[in-house]
Structure 1
Amino acid sequence: MEPIRIVLVEDHDLTRAGLRMALSQYPNVKLLAEASTGETGVKLIEQMRPDLAIVDVGLPGIDGVEVTRRAKAEFPELLVLILTMRDDAETVLAAFASGADSYCMKDIASKDLLGVIEKTHEGTSYIDPAIAGVVLNDLRSRSAHSATGGRQTSIQAADPELTQILEASPLTERELEVLQLIVKGHSNEGIAQELYITVGTVKTHVRNILSKLCADDRTQAAVLALRSGLVR
């Protein structure tokens, strides 16, 4: 099998060196090139046509969100893994809206990072559990302010395909509550206790969420919810 071809866009020299060393340990990964600025990163992606770009957010010049937007606009098939220390909801949402496929914190272990790279390359989006709960809580707060009595949540996505999926089957308020608890790591039993409903009801909500978001598993459902922007 051909190795996963990667371009790394990271401005911090020591971090970049550490990532270079980590990636060199794995035969199924090939680091094609490195960039320390956003502009250089976009140029290298254009030249190298990698399978995946690992991009920091806080870059000099244009930031990682803009790098992602420009690269995805020109090469939609490119996969982008955001690797950063930024854990605020606004940045995470902006990254997914620009087309990022996965979002990971820099304190991840190198062996786990390889797993994230492989999952992303296989088409499974990943969001770091350390930030997923915070972001979904922020989104749900916006939903509460914009929702009207008894109506289902409408969803607008930056991705046209997601828009069609989510507008056809919007998540209910209860499903959003379940989704938030899933991302926080609660089991079905824990969700049932939190929401004062039966485990059977929780399982039904989970099935509905995965079906409506066309997601294969819980993590992918959370990422799709983030990328959609949920309620605006």
Structure 2
Amino acid sequence: MDPIRVVLVEDHDLTRAGLRMALSQSDHIKLLGDASNGEAGLRLIEQMKPDLAIVDVGLPGIDGIEVTRRVKSEHPEILVLILTMRDDSQTVLAAFASGADSYCMKDIASKDLLQVVEKTHEGTSFIDPSVAGIVLNEVRSRSVHAAPGTRQTVIQAADPELAQILEASPLTERELEVLQLIVQGHSNEGIAQQLYITVGTVKTHVRNILSKLCADDRTQAAVLALRSGLVH
């Protein structure tokens, strides 16, 4: 298996050196280069076309949120792992809105960071437990008011990859109803009461939804809802 080709964008010299050392410990990861600011990072990413970019938020000049937005706009196939000390809701939500695939705090252990890089490369979004609640609370605080038949259009405009997934395995009307209630923070029991169906039936719908969205759990489903435009 070819190693995961990685570019690192981090402005702090000691942190960048430590990350280089950590990444070098894995035979499955190849560091192509690193940069100390946003502009240099964008040039390096454009030149190297990595599989994944590890990006700090607090970069001088062009910050990490804007770096992520530009990378995803020009090269949506490149994965972006945000690695930062910032855990405020504005930064977390802005990162995912810009297209970040994973969000990780800098106090993570080296071996865990390597696993996050590999999981992200495999297609599994990672959300640091310390900020996962921010995403869920944001999603739960909003509701979906789209008219019937408009959700697929919103998804297609906001997230072409998700639109392709749903085109291959579209959600049923009932699954859309269940997804909306998940987004609003209802438990399986609450969904069953709302829709007048059994908890067992709800669990079946939830499994189908997670399968069709390629999400591992409700948190990832919430992130997809946030990034795709299902939630406004």
Q: Name the SS of the counterpart of 1:83 in structure 2.
A: strand
Change (3 A) 1:75 1:96: same
Partner of 1:97: 97
Cα contact 2:32–2:50 (8 A) shared by 1: yes
Task: State yes or no: 1:82 paired with 2:89.
Answer: no
Cα contact 1:103–1:127 (8 A) shared by 2: yes
Partner of 1:20: 20
Q: Which runs of 5+ in 1 are unaligned?
A: 182-190
Q: Which runs of 4 or more aligned residues in structure 1 lie more than 3 Å from their structure 2 counterparts after TM superposition?
A: 153-157, 160-173, 191-199
Cα contact 2:68–2:100 (8 A) shared by 1: yes
Cα contact 1:5–1:29 (8 A) shared by 2: yes
Compute the displacement of 1:196 (Å): 9.1
Aligned runs of 1:215-230 on 2, under 5 Å?
215-218=214-217, 220-230=220-230
Matched letter for residue 105 of structure 2: M
Compute the displacement of 1:192 (Å): 5.6
Change (3 A) 1:88 1:204: farther
Q: Name the SS of the counterpart of 1:60 in structure 2.
A: coil
Counting aligned pairs with the same residue, the percent is: 70
Partner of 1:39: 39
Structure 1 stretch displaced more, 130-139 or 40-49: 130-139
- For residues 105-154 of structure 1, the C-alpha deviation after alignment (integer angstroms, 9 at most, x for no partner) is 212211111111111111222222221222221222132xx759xx9x95
Compute the displacement of 1:87 (Å): 2.1
Compute the displacement of 1:56 (Å): 0.9
Task: State yes or no: 1:175 paired with 2:186.
Answer: no
Change (3 A) 1:109 1:193: farther
- For residues 19-51 of structure 1, the C-alpha deviation after alignment (integer angstroms, 9 at most, x for no partner) is 111111111111111111100100000111111
Partner of 1:186: none
Change (3 A) 1:112 1:62: same
Aligned pairs, how many?
A: 216
Partner of 1:126: 126
Q: TM-score, normalised by structure 2?
A: 0.78
Q: Distance in 1 between matches of 2:225 and 2:132?
A: 10
Partner of 1:139: 139
Q: TM-score, normalised by structure 1?
A: 0.78
| Aligned alpha-carbon RMSD (Å) | 3.1
